[in-house]
């Protein structure tokens, strides 16, 4: 994707998304339709790249059927649109099921703090929890902390991720997303 290697680029940046990612997906979609297209080598190296192109093609058609309210040739009936919409989450899960935890720079990484410690959080195990949290967070990602954990563990992890995470959020069913810090260049 314009000479980038895996992990380069910030997919949360609209300009990068449009120029690099959407262009690659559009090229892959054209090739999927058996039309000549220059698809970046990086895209072809992705696991399930053919399935990604197929899903992108399906989403484009679905978007057009919805946006044009069925007022176009070969528009799908509402029952078909409804079924396709219901299938999208499963198709997406299938695509990401065997991907590494962090594929792209700028990714959103969710860390369940309960998974760091198991049954009972032990203060003397804090260095181990912090190393694991930093490993899961990666560099420059947006990190979301979730899960049942003592306040001291949340505070220690938040402090350890300062300077590693681009953004840090906490979320729960009660609070929704709460921004802890944001070091995104504006």
Residues 126 and 171 in one domain: yes
Contact 9, 16 (CB under 8 A): yes
| Whole-number percent of the chain with pLDDT over 90 | 39
Of 32, 91, 94, 21, the closest CA to residue 57 belongs to 32
pLDDT at 97: 76
Examine residue 6 and state whether it is found in any structural domain, yes or no: no
Residues 127 and 151 in one domain: yes
pLDDT at 38: 86
Residues 112 and 73 in one domain: no
Domain boundary among 96, 125, 159: 96
d(CA 156, CA 169): 14
Categorize the per-residue pLDDT at 120 as very low, low, confident or very high, splitting at 50, 70 and 90: very high
Residues 87 and 112 in one domain: no
Q: Which two tokens stand for residue 38?
A: 């220059």
Examine residue 3 and state whether it is found in any structural domain, yes or no: no
Reply yes or no on whether the pLDDT at 2 is more than 50.
Answer: no
pLDDT at 100: 54
Domain boundary among 55, 74, 96: 96
Residues 90 and 119 in one domain: no
Examine residue 75 and state whether it is found in any structural domain, yes or no: yes
Q: What is the mean pLDDT of residues 10-37?
A: 79
pLDDT tens-digit series, residues 54-101: 898 889 889 888 888 878 888 888 898 899 999 999 998 888 776 654
pLDDT at 124: 97
Residues 87 and 123 in one domain: no
Predicted TM-score of the model (pTM) = 0.48
Counting every residue written for the chain, the total comes to 186
Categorize the per-residue pLDDT at 3 as very low, low, confident or very high, splitting at 50, 70 and 90: very low
Categorize the per-residue pLDDT at 105 as very low, low, confident or very high, splitting at 50, 70 and 90: very low
* Structural domain boundaries, residue 55: 14-96
Burial class (CB in 10 A: 0-12, 13-18, 19+), 58: middle
The region of weakest confidence among 23-27, 28-32, 105-109, 110-114 is: 105-109
Residues 91 and 112 in one domain: no
Of 54, 129, 127, 133, the closest CA to residue 95 belongs to 54
Q: What is the mean pLDDT of residues 117-132?
A: 96
Q: Which two tokens stand for residue 106?
A: 């700028």
Place of tokens 């690659």: 24
pLDDT at 123: 96
pLDDT at 99: 62
Examine residue 119 and state whether it is found in any structural domain, yes or no: yes
Q: How many domains does the chain have?
A: 2
163 or 122: which leads in pLDDT: 122
Residues 26 and 74 in one domain: yes
Residues 114 and 71 in one domain: no
Residues 60 and 124 in one domain: no
């Amino acid at each position: 994707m314009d000479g980038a290697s895996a992990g380069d680029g910030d997919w949360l940046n609209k300009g990068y998304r449009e120029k690099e990612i959407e262009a690659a997906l559009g090229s892959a979609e054209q090739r999927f339709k058996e039309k000549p297209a220059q698809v970046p080598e990086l895209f072809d190296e992705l696991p399930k790249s053919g399935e990604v192109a197929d899903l992108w093609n399906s989403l484009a058609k679905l978007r057009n059927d919805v946006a044009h309210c069925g007022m176009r040739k070969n528009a799908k009936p509402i029952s078909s649109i409804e079924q396709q919409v219901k299938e999208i989450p499963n198709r997406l899960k299938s695509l990401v099921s065997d991907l590494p935890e962090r594929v792209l720079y700028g990714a959103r990484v969710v860390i369940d703090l309960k998974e760091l410690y198991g049954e009972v959080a032990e203060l003397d195990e804090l260095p181990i929890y912090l190393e694991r949290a930093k490993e899961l967070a990666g560099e420059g990602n947006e990190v979301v902390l979730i899960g049942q954990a003592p306040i001291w563990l949340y505070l220690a992890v938040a402090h350890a991720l300062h300077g590693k995470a681009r953004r840090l959020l906490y979320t729960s069913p009660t609070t929704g997303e709460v921004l802890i810090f944001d070091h995104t260049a504006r």
